[in-house]
Amino acid sequence: MIYFDDALQIVLSCASAPLDSEEVSLTRALGRILAADITSDMDMPPFDKSAMDGYACRVADLDRPLKVIETIPAGYQPRLAISQGECSKIMTGAMIPEGADCVVMVEHTREEEDGFIRVMKKDGPPNISRRAEDIQQGDTVLKRGTRITPAEIADLASVGCDPVPVVRRPVVGVLATGCELVEPTQKPNPVQIRNSNSYQLCAQVERAGCLPHYFGIAEDNPETIDRMIKQALAESDVVLLSGGVSMGDFDFVPEILEHNKVEIKFRKVAVKPGKPVVFGTLDSSRGGKYFFGLPGNPVSTFVLFEVLVRPFLFRLMGSSDQRLRITARLRKSLKRKKVDRMEYIPVSLASDGLVERVDYHGSAHIHAYTGAHGIIALPIGVAEIKEGSEVSVLLISS
């Protein structure tokens, strides 16, 4: 049995060779990982531009009536330079005409006779967005390894990056083991349950920006499990299997992995929920395949994906799991009797900023996680965290 932190280090170090890259159109880039640094091909803004609808003029002239010599809509080149006693009506986003050094908001002016205006209120900033004040041509605007969210989409669009170089999404094969399992569309008989792990894992894989591929349920017999593991390994970069890894009479997975030349790196981790967690690699010298065997208990599967598999998948894509961790105070004390494992506990976060344990009855009670915003850890040796203490919460809602 190894410590959780050591297990995490092992899986991360095995993912050191990132996947190849490909190009996708900007409209398909959400959630992908950038495969290259992105530089800007132009200054942003590309010219001094008006931040207001108003009149472009000279600060020195604000006390006198100003003759309006031109109207400058956004997207048009000003034709006339501003001389003493002159101004041009200008729209937000339009280019500042030569000679002007400020824009007076239209609300602060009054129209006079014969095409003149008067400035009624002088205070306020120049209302000019200066050329290159956001980004300079040649600047790196986004770094390789960045996960693309809507804000990055805007940046990529601004600098003309379409198509976008992104890391190939790993295909993550998902399969379940267990004679008691039926698919969600089926009605279980009295000794059966529905397979929830596979669908949950596929959703977690997809949320992490990877490509899930579901291979179905393997009955608990060595031939079937062997056949399905072979197929999943052949057709995926990473295989996630749930169930069959503990020490029950029908748990054959570790042996089958060895037959399939998967090099097992660990089989047990001092973590709760969890403990039997198998991780192995195949052909690690040649790009490689990776295998995670997770306990069948739904909560274990859920948590271990979030804290172990997800960081691995991000590393495989040349990134890191950029999900937020926040520090928050506990509403009620947390206590436990056995302190020999790192324990992960689901918590909900209330609008007063306090976190509270989400009650769950045990590893099968996945429904409890529908109310959880985050996960906190109780380290080995810690029996209690007192009410009001600060805890670090891994937010799991993105």
Which residues make up the interface to Mg ion (CB under 5 A)? 178, 243-244, 296
Q: Shortest gap between Cβ of 39 and Mg ion (angstroms)?
A: 52
CA dist., res. 2 & res. 7, Å (int): 7
Contacting ligand AMP (CB under 6 A), which of 50, 129, 242, 319? 242
Told to check if 195 binds ligand AMP by CB under 6 A, we report yes
Is the link from the previous residue into 212 a cis peptide, with omega within 30 of 0? no
Q: Which of residues 248-287 bind ligand AMP (CB under 6 A)?
A: 248
Tokens 């990132």 belong to 18
Q: Shortest gap between Cβ of 177 and ligand AMP (angstroms)?
A: 6
Q: Shortest gap between Cβ of 25 and ligand AMP (angstroms)?
A: 36
Selection from Mg ion, ligand AMP, none that 197 binds (CB < 5 to 8 A by kind) is ligand AMP
In 3D, which of 341, 385, 363 has the Cα closest to residue 7?
A: 341
Told to check if 204 binds ligand AMP by CB under 6 A, we report no
356: phi > 0 → left, psi -120 to 50 → alpha, else beta; which? Answer: beta
> Whose CB is nearest to ligand AMP?
296
**CA 30 from chain center: how many Å?**
10
Q: Shortest gap between Cβ of 186 and ligand AMP (angstroms)?
A: 13
Told to check if 103 binds ligand AMP by CB under 6 A, we report no
By three-state DSSP, how is residue 153 classified? helix
Selection from Mg ion, ligand AMP, none that 281 binds (CB < 5 to 8 A by kind) is none
Contacting ligand AMP (CB under 6 A), which of 97, 296, 318, 374? 296
Told to check if 14 binds ligand AMP by CB under 6 A, we report no
Told to check if 173 binds ligand AMP by CB under 6 A, we report no
Give me the count of residues in the chain: 398
Tokens 């108003």 belong to 54
Q: Do 55 and 103 meet the contact criterion of CB atoms below 8 Å apart?
A: yes
By three-state DSSP, how is residue 355 classified? strand
157 phi, psi to nearest 5 deg: -65, -45
Q: Do 298 and 197 meet the contact criterion of CB atoms below 8 Å apart?
A: yes
Told to check if 385 binds ligand AMP by CB under 6 A, we report no
DSSP E strands: which ranges in 97-137?
Answer: 102-105, 109-111, 116-119, 128-129
Contacting ligand AMP (CB under 6 A), which of 109, 127, 196, 281? 196
Told to check if 198 binds ligand AMP by CB under 6 A, we report yes
Tokens 């908001």 belong to 105
Told to check if 179 binds ligand AMP by CB under 6 A, we report no
Q: Shortest gap between Cβ of 177 and Mg ion (angstroms)?
A: 6
Contacting ligand AMP (CB under 6 A), which of 104, 181, 229, 372? 181
Selection from ligand AMP, Mg ion, none that 196 binds (CB < 5 to 8 A by kind) is ligand AMP
Told to check if 243 binds ligand AMP by CB under 6 A, we report yes
Distances (CA, A) of 91 to 2, 70, 96, 348, 365: 65, 11, 10, 48, 59
Interacting residue ranges for ligand AMP, rule: CB under 6 A? 176, 178, 180-181, 193, 195-198, 242-244, 246, 248, 295-298, 364
